[in-house]
Structure 1
Amino acid sequence: MKIQLDRFEEQIDEVILQRGLNYFKKGYVTDVEEIGPGDYEATVNGREIYTVHLHVEKGVVTEYDCNCPYDQGPVCKHIVAVLFYLQQDVLHLEEDIPTKKTAKKAKKPSDMEQVDKILHLLSHEELKAFVRDYCKKDKQVRGQFLFNYMDLCVGQKELYAQQIQALIKSHSDRYGFIEYRDAANLGRSVCGLLDEAADWPQKGKTAQAIYLAEATIEKMADVINNTDDSSGEIGCCISIAIQLLADIAGSGLESPSREELFQWAIKQYKANTLEGWDWHFEVIRIAIDLVQSPQEKKQLLSILEKIQSYDEDSWNYQQILNLRMQIIRKTENEEAAIRFMEANLSNPTFRKSLIEKALSEKNYPRVEELANEGIKQDEKNKPGLMDDWKNYLLTMHLQQGDKEQIMRLARYFLLQSYSRHQPRQYYYDLLKSLIPEEQWAAYVDGIIAEICRENKYGAFQPVAEIYIWEKQWDKLLAWLPQYPNFYHIEQAEPYLKEMYPQELAALYQDTILKYLERNVGREHYQKCCQYIRRMIKLGARPMATELITQLQTQYRNRRALLEELSQV
């Protein structure tokens, strides 16, 4: 994951965050140095001495690594300690045992500056001899070197497969398993070369790009189920490789490379190399992009006949229908495509395409028929699709100007706590434009009553939004105590702080008292202190001071709480 430097505390597990903060405060972070633009290296002392590397770009930590053995998540406490070090001025933090600031050594060239200087001074022959010597001594260095520059050799697929296999082996343990950190490093190495290979076709090296992508897919598919790929880097390799092949297939690949890539894609699909992953169907899409002859079309359709072995509602069944449609569009005409969609309306993509076609032609009876069939088919088990069909009906009624049906469907969507088609306010505004002004207040009351009746525990957000749209601030304030939590009060604060600052502060106070009855731990205490500060910002300092005194008395044995309260 990428980490926002100014918000890293929100993205990292609280336990790891606290351990990293403790390390920083104890002065364990030393020798922090910017070794290149945005590249930081630091030493963190713990049970052993570890090295942390970070790359920061536009306020985002895009890469981070530590050589400690931690593998329970993406970020260890040593990385967090360095993040606190970099942000200490912003967060107003101080180390309990101050470390020697590296700023005093600013005149000393960084390691990378020294590397650049040496590279400039070395002769071509000296540098070649150094690289060759280290490749001879270190198998992993040799494998990485060959992998990074294998495009300079004669492009044989076996060479790419061999080097990727060597990389995999060098990152595997003795049982063949690839741990989290090794998987991330392996993935980054392969992804880096694949990114470079995207430009190979423009340099006349299309065959090499195809061989590399094919070898990556085959080899990474073999290991992905025996790998801790929590970072997603191994999966990323396969995705990039497939996209590279898809781009090449769509660029007008010539013979014999076209036929070879077509048969490779068919082979991978039939062998179930990527079975169980979305990529399984992506390789056959590559073949569809390449199909030309009737024999190739027949070959594709024959391997898709296994559709009969899937349940009609299954994802695989629908994907195969989509693939068959792609073949028809590539090799036949639009009339054939429409006939195929009409014969397979269980596929929601086909139904949507036909409805949109009917809408564009103003064939409203057909729109209504298709949408109502979809509602009947999906209302029990697929509420999301049912809403799609209702949205098409609303679009049709808007085109027709059918006020009664518009009001019926707009009310339906407004009653939902979430709509994926339009913001809920869209339906509110639509209804307000259609309902007479003298009836509007009673209509809104009816909407709120129905929301509360149908969705008691999830009513806060939709009702609060209506009060905000109506600018009924007194009702919004009265609504908050019925669903008391920090998040709800904080959401309402921008609208209420000018008129009701003391009332909001009192709500925060009550919520803090109830929260501390149920929660113990520094992170919870810090959260409560955050809201005490909000009380002060609302102008309720006396109330906040009284609350602090009450908490110091009531929880005098909670040392961590007392420490946090003392810093408010």
Structure 2
Amino acid sequence: MLTLKNFELQVSSTIIQRGRQYFEDGAVIDLEETDNNYWQAEVAGTSTYSIEIKLGNKNKIEDYSCDCPYDGDTCKHVVAVLFLLKEELSGKIARAKKANQPDFKKLLQKINVEEYQEFILAHATKDKNFKSVFELWFAHKDERIDTAKKYTDLIKIIIRKHASEGFIDYRATYSLTNEIKKLVAKGDALLAKKNFREAFTLARAVLKQVTELIEYSDDSNGNIGDAIFSIIQLIENISLAKEPTIELKEQIFSFLQTELSNQLYFDYGDFGYEMITVYQSLAELLKKEKEFLQYVDTQIAKYIAGKRDFRKDYFLVRKIEFLKAIGKEGEIRKLIQQNLDVVEIRKGEVESAINKKDFLMAKKLIAGGIKIAEKEKHPGIVSDWEEELLRVAIIEKDKETIRFYTKRFAFDRWFNRDYYIQWKKTFTNTEWRTVIEKYIEDKITEINKQHQNNKSKLWYSPDALFLDALAPIYIEEKYWDRLLILVCKETELDRILQYHDHLSKHYPTELVDLYIPAFERKGDIAGNRVEYANLAGKMKRVIKSIPAGKEKIIGVAKMLSMKYPRRPAMIQELNKVIILEKGKSEQ
């Protein structure tokens, strides 16, 4: 839970440092509580950025946003505002200041109706955006207001504000989507108030405009895509609610049917597939079987018969799901038999066979799936089918098949601990010792043979291959002595450190002897402050876990500092290690 009390511990130390600097430099301007526990501020950086923060009970930070282009979770601008908020709410220096601040709500109470109207008319004349927002807010007071047009105009104004020569660049997508989020939040609020018709009117207008925009944007950060998904989610929430009239749901169905013909929803993301989910649910509810099946068949017909295409497979699966939902069992069987080459359809049949305990049929279907995947050269799908064979074997308690596949999956491309343990559990302790020793022996023979056959082409010894292949087994079996023998043949610092936690308790002295030359070599090739800091950090890590090696490691740090007197950044970073000599901590 992020709070004003603990955010300094929860956020990256680098971001905290930069945010604190902004705060101390007075870069936070116009901090204001616009509503109860809702705060807004601006922070002056390379540009001026707008920040919004929502606090909860006990100063819990419930939500926040910034329109800067930072990709991470929390930016330095938000942190700067949090520091100021923490100071403001502590009451240490803010009480006198707050006492003199105007109370906005009290000000509103002092204004009479004529003054309100005069202010609104003056601003509506000068500011078209203000007029649109005002009319939308009070649209329920006047049925003549065309809310669909107003929302469309409003989103167009927002888009134009952030566009440059008709294009939305990477940076502009942050501030743009922050404004879109506010519109979606308004739609959610309308939904909560059961104003379903206006919520849909808003969602429809925003979705159309934002989707058209994606063609002319650099959305490499995914902001616009996320906004589109949130709008589709709003439409789905309206559709799934029980209260909206059938007439409104018919309108949503017709809207989706029209929009799904727009290829943009499929070319720039998975938006179309999300919309099809809503479209299918409404088709089931509204008994629109003919329309939905006609749409799906049209999509299937676009793709060449006999040629694999994931989109065709997707629509075939959708059609089967829909036919099941409306009880067309006869059509389903025929369609399934015609399309068993589609992975998802075949998997559905495998699942059905397993549920009926017809394991022979399940295995036959899986074998057919493997054959198709091998023919089409899809090794990933072959592996998926083999995992299905393992699942059936577990149900049938077929020990030999379980052993075969768990062993394969344990060492397939990389070590998989879960499958290794599963393989091990099929043996008694006595049996396992024989099995694993035989595996180790065979693996050593295999590596030696491969290395000998390719000796003329290889520049490295087989030691690295032995470590990669056998270290995971030695760790699982706690063969620390064997692991140490392999690690002792390593000279590269990072490779040795991979096994530090496993060996430091058992062989501290031997590890330190390995680290000393490795640290020196790392220092010789390090070339910038990041690399120097990285080296110093690793030295301190080893000293912390093996205190007996402190003197030797500090000796390497001193030697490197003397060896490279013209590398001030290196000396500065290594001094953070050398200072530990007197038992001092880093200042």
TM-score after normalising by structure 2: 0.77
Structure 2 counterpart of 1:342, one-letter code: Q
Structure 2 counterparts to residues 524-539 of structure 1, below 5 A: 524-537=531-544, 538-539=546-547
Distance 1:60 1:290 in 2: 38
- Say whether the 8 Å CA contact 1:23–1:81 is kept in structure 2: yes
Structure 1 counterpart of 2:379, one-letter code: P
The reply to whether residue 117 of structure 1 matches residue 103 of structure 2 is yes
The reply to whether residue 499 of structure 1 matches residue 501 of structure 2 is no
| 1:177 aligned counterpart, secondary structure | coil
Q: Deviations over 1:393-437 (max 9, x none)?
A: 1122222232222211111111124589x8244334335448714
Distance 1:158 1:407 in 2: 66
Distance 2:207 2:338 in 1: 35
Structure 2 counterpart of 1:479, one-letter code: L
User: 1:269 pairs with 236, 247, 260, which one?
Assistant: 260
Question: Which residue in the other structure is 1:226 paired with?
Answer: 216
Highest RCO, 1 vs 2 (Cα 8 Å, sep ≥ 6): 1
- Say whether the 8 Å CA contact 1:148–1:193 is kept in structure 2: no
Distance 1:270 1:27 in 2: 51
Structure 1 runs not aligned, ≥5 long: 88-100
Question: Which residue in the other structure is 1:445 paired with?
Answer: 440
Q: CA deviation at 1:491?
A: 4.1
- Say whether the 8 Å CA contact 2:373–2:379 is kept in structure 1: yes
The reply to whether residue 178 of structure 1 matches residue 175 of structure 2 is no
Structure 2 counterparts to residues 481-500 of structure 1, below 5 A: 481=488, 488-500=495-507
Question: Which residue in the other structure is 1:209 paired with?
Answer: 199
Question: Which residue in the other structure is 1:95 paired with?
Answer: none
User: 1:243 pairs with 225, 233, 238, which one?
Assistant: 233
The reply to whether residue 280 of structure 1 matches residue 272 of structure 2 is yes
- Say whether the 8 Å CA contact 1:54–1:61 is kept in structure 2: no
Decide whether aligned partners of structure 1 residues 66 and 305 sit closer, same or farther in structure 2, where only a CA change above 3 A counts.
closer
Q: CA deviation at 1:362?
A: 1.9
The reply to whether residue 160 of structure 1 matches residue 151 of structure 2 is yes
Decide whether aligned partners of structure 1 residues 21 and 448 sit closer, same or farther in structure 2, where only a CA change above 3 A counts.
farther
Question: Which residue in the other structure is 1:389 paired with?
Answer: 385
Question: Which residue in the other structure is 2:457 paired with?
Answer: none
User: 1:300 pairs with 256, 279, 295, which one?
Assistant: 295
Structure 2 counterpart of 1:565, one-letter code: L
Q: CA deviation at 1:9?
A: 4.8
| 2:425 aligned counterpart, secondary structure | helix
Distance 1:462 1:110 in 2: 69
Distance 2:130 2:96 in 1: 24
Question: Which residue in the other structure is 1:401 paired with?
Answer: 397
Structure 1 counterpart of 2:434, one-letter code: Q
- Say whether the 8 Å CA contact 1:497–1:504 is kept in structure 2: yes
Which moved further from structure 2: 548-557 or 290-299? 290-299
Structure 2 counterparts to residues 240-389 of structure 1, below 5 A: 240-251=230-241, 254-276=245-267, 277-291=269-283, 292-309=287-304, 312-334=307-329, 336-379=331-374, 381-389=377-385
TM-score after normalising by structure 1: 0.79
Structure 1 counterpart of 2:215, one-letter code: N
Q: CA deviation at 1:528?
A: 0.7
Distance 1:451 1:62 in 2: 57
Structure 2 counterparts to residues 40-59 of structure 1, below 5 A: 53=51, 55=53
Q: CA deviation at 1:328?
A: 1.4
Structure 2 counterpart of 1:411, one-letter code: K
Decide whether aligned partners of structure 1 residues 294 and 451 sit closer, same or farther in structure 2, where only a CA change above 3 A counts.
same
Structure 2 counterpart of 1:274, one-letter code: Y
- Say whether the 8 Å CA contact 2:490–2:496 is kept in structure 1: no
Structure 1 counterpart of 2:232, one-letter code: I
Structure 1 counterpart of 2:265, one-letter code: L
Which moved further from structure 2: 496-505 or 159-168? 496-505
Distance 1:495 1:282 in 2: 47
Q: CA deviation at 1:542?
A: 0.4
User: 1:436 pairs with 417, 420, 431, which one?
Assistant: 431
The reply to whether residue 169 of structure 1 matches residue 160 of structure 2 is yes
Question: Which residue in the other structure is 1:560 paired with?
Answer: 569
Q: CA deviation at 1:546?
A: 0.5
Distance 2:521 2:62 in 1: 37
Distance 1:363 1:242 in 2: 41
Structure 1 counterpart of 2:103, one-letter code: K
Distance 1:295 1:195 in 2: 35
Give the number of aligned pairs: 537
Distance 2:447 2:140 in 1: 65
- Say whether the 8 Å CA contact 1:410–1:430 is kept in structure 2: no
RMSD: 4.3
Decide whether aligned partners of structure 1 residues 303 and 138 sit closer, same or farther in structure 2, where only a CA change above 3 A counts.
same
Which moved further from structure 2: 541-550 or 437-446? 437-446
Distance 2:365 2:108 in 1: 74
Q: CA deviation at 1:460?
A: 5.2
Decide whether aligned partners of structure 1 residues 254 and 182 sit closer, same or farther in structure 2, where only a CA change above 3 A counts.
same
| 2:26 aligned counterpart, secondary structure | strand
Q: CA deviation at 1:492?
A: 2.6
- Say whether the 8 Å CA contact 1:52–1:66 is kept in structure 2: yes
Structure 2 counterpart of 1:566, one-letter code: N
| 1:256 aligned counterpart, secondary structure | helix
Distance 2:421 2:102 in 1: 59
Question: Which residue in the other structure is 1:416 paired with?
Answer: 412
Distance 2:300 2:100 in 1: 63
Question: Which residue in the other structure is 2:474 paired with?
Answer: 467
Q: CA deviation at 1:138?
A: 4.8
Which moved further from structure 2: 200-209 or 216-225? 200-209
Q: CA deviation at 1:219?
A: 0.6
| 1:366 aligned counterpart, secondary structure | helix
Question: Which residue in the other structure is 1:90 paired with?
Answer: none
Q: Deviations over 1:115-160 (max 9, x none)?
A: 7833344326469566765565555666666677768775743332
Structure 1 counterpart of 2:172, one-letter code: D
